Structures are given as structure tokens and as C-alpha cells.
Amino acid sequence: MCGIVGLYLKNPKLKPKLGKMFKPMIIEMTNRGPDSAGVAIYRNPVKKTQTKFSLAHDDANYDWKKIDVGLEKALKCDCTVKKIGNHCILVTTGKEPAVIAWLKAHHPQVRVVGSGHTIEIFKEVGLPANVYDKFDLDEAAGTHIIGHTRMATESAVTTAGSHPFATGADLCLVHNGSLSNHNRLRESLRKEGMDFQTENDTEVAAAYMTSKLRGGATLKEALEDGLRDLDGFYTFLVGTADGFAVVRDPIACKHAVMAETDDWVAMATEYRAIAHLPGADNAKIWEPEPTIVYTWGGHA
């Protein structure tokens, strides 16, 4: 099972309502995935000299100030932290690899769940409605958002095993389906130096994309290569800095539907998630065809 949903606003006037418009979409997918939920929202871009990190810790009362002060001192950079639920948005002038290395060395319990200039990732076990409330997403403004409701199959119900998974700067992946060759692929990606936090299959797909993109592939090329190398059933939704991309495996038995109006583009596992959007009744609605990479907003 699992449900995936995405909303991209074409009409900039709707930006303040992004969180409100998206809420019924992800909640409608609750019975496809009641174990955990997560979203990647694209908002508040930081300066070119800065990087924005989404960090998570199992302890909801974790003192993020320690990160702020410690990083500034160690890397001689500027930092701000904002606690949201058991996550924290860290904005820093520190260089990304140095920040990640410092966190790993000094605060190994802190997980980096996303990074880039605009992306913020929030994910947690529990019902989508509770997760949505926990991270104050109702009032969130932004340009686009993707989300996932998980019914765990191949690995444990944990926050780390929740989607979305980061795949590089401002990129993340949500997945409906299951991969059958993820163990072997994980081993070969480990040899390339990729790091894994879980036994989850989607994390392997995310690492695969990251590795391809680092190697110079475009997102479209990475997804097309994935059709050859990732064995299993999947519909992928990839969030990018300025839009999203959708691709389905050749058999395409994991549902997917898309809809577009003058104001928005939406993608969901089932149409009922889209039905709540204003103008959905008269939207252009279609089913993404297998193996075709569909993209919105960005240059994939």
C-alpha cells in the first residue's frame, strides 16, 4: 500500500494556502498508510552562501541550541536553528560536508533528513493528521509540497524509515511499492561510499539517485537509469527545487493519477486525494504511463 501525494502551485497567489490545500490530500491517504507520514515542503529559500538542513532527533525536547553554538564555534560560521516538533531547521553558512561531518562526530543521534536551499523535510511515525499537526503544516506557505503515508512492509516502522528520503540538494523521493533487489544494490552503493541509516528499500532508491546525480546525470537520466537498475514495483514522486517528477515501473501496478488546472498540478496514488482541491471536478485528469518521466516546474 502506501499513499503518495504532491501539489505544485502554478498560481503564486495560492502560495500562502499551500499547507491548507495539501492537508486533506495527505489525510485522505491515511488508510493507505497509517504507520507514518512525511512531507517535503519547498519554502523560504535561503541565500546562496547558506545551506538549509532539516534535522531530526528522537527526543522531542532535544536542545538544538547545542548544535547552533557548537557549529558556530567549530566551523566559524553563522547558524540559526528553529525547532519544529522533533525536527529542527538549521540555516548555516557552514559548508555542507563539514556540517554533516561535525554532526556525525559530535551529535551522532541527530539525523540529517534533508538539505538544500528551499527544501524542508518533516517525517514521523503515527497517523498523517497527527504528523501534520505536529509540524504546524496547516499554516505553511510555499511553492510545492510532496507527501507520503506509509504502510510498512519490508522494514520497521520508525521515523528514520519514513519517507521522504533526501537524494541531494533540494531533492527528495517518496515511493509507493517495494523493491526486490535493494539489498544487493545497497552493498554496491556502500562500496561507492554512500551512507545508510535504515534497512529500508526506498532509502536505497534515494541513495541510487543521489549517486547518479553526483555522477553528473540529470534527474531525468537518473530516473531513466533507475528503470533499468531498480527491480520491483514502484511509483516514484521526486521533489525538486522548483517542481516535481513522477515515474512508474514498466508493469505499473502501483496506482497513480495526475490532475492539472490553471492554478495547480497535483499527483496522487488515488484520485480521492485530489478531489478536495478547488476546481478538481473540471481539471484535466490522466494516468501517468509506465516508464515515462513526467516533470513539472523544473528542468529535470
Active site residue ranges: 2
DSSP collapsed to 3 states, 58-125: CCCCCCCHHHHHHHHHHHCCCEEEEEECCEEEEEECCCHHHHHHHHHHHCCCCEEEEEECCEEEEEEE
Are 293 and 224 in contact, with CB atoms under 8 Å apart?
A: yes
**Phi, psi values for residue 266, rounded to 5°:** -130, 150
C-beta of 286: minimal distance to other proteins in Å?
7
Q: Out of 146, 274, 293, 300, which residue is the one contacting other proteins (CB under 8 A)?
A: 274
C-beta of 176: minimal distance to other proteins in Å?
13
286: contact with other proteins by CB under 8 A:
yes
Query: Cell triple for residue 59?
Result: 527526543
Q: Label residue 289 exposed, middle or buried (CB < 10 Å: 0-12, 13-18, 19+).
A: exposed
In sequence order, what are the beta bridge partners of 206? Answer: none
Closer to other proteins by CB, 55 or 273: give it.
273
Q: Out of 1, 199, 257, 295, which residue is the one contacting other proteins (CB under 8 A)?
A: 257
Using the contact rule CB under 8 A, the part of the chain among 49-57, 109-117, 172-180, 247-255 near other proteins is 247-255
Closer to other proteins by CB, 81 or 246: give it.
246
Closer to other proteins by CB, 6 or 142: give it.
6
Count of residues that bind other proteins according to CB under 8 A: 17
Q: Label residue 202 exposed, middle or buried (CB < 10 Å: 0-12, 13-18, 19+).
A: buried
Closer to other proteins by CB, 262 or 281: give it.
281
213: contact with other proteins by CB under 8 A:
no
285: contact with other proteins by CB under 8 A:
yes
Query: Cell triple for residue 232?
Result: 520491483
68: contact with other proteins by CB under 8 A:
no
Closer to other proteins by CB, 51 or 149: give it.
149
Closer to other proteins by CB, 61 or 282: give it.
282
The SS3 of residue 253 is coil
260: contact with other proteins by CB under 8 A:
no
Q: Out of 45, 255, 260, 261, which residue is the one contacting other proteins (CB under 8 A)?
A: 255
Q: Out of 104, 253, 278, 279, which residue is the one contacting other proteins (CB under 8 A)?
A: 253
C-beta of 273: minimal distance to other proteins in Å?
8
In sequence order, what are the beta bridge partners of 219? Answer: none
Residue 286 gets which letter from DSSP? Answer: E
**Phi, psi values for residue 73, rounded to 5°:** -70, -45
Are 186 and 155 in contact, with CB atoms under 8 Å apart?
A: no
271: contact with other proteins by CB under 8 A:
yes
292: contact with other proteins by CB under 8 A:
no
Cβ-based neighbour number of residue 147 at 10 Å: 34
C-beta of 274: minimal distance to other proteins in Å?
7
The SS3 of residue 131 is helix
Using the contact rule CB under 8 A, the part of the chain among 76-84, 110-118, 131-139, 271-279 near other proteins is 271-279
**Cα 99 to the center of its chain, rounded Å:** 21
**Chain positions contacting other proteins, by CB under 8 A:** 252-253, 255, 257, 270-276, 281, 285-287, 289-290
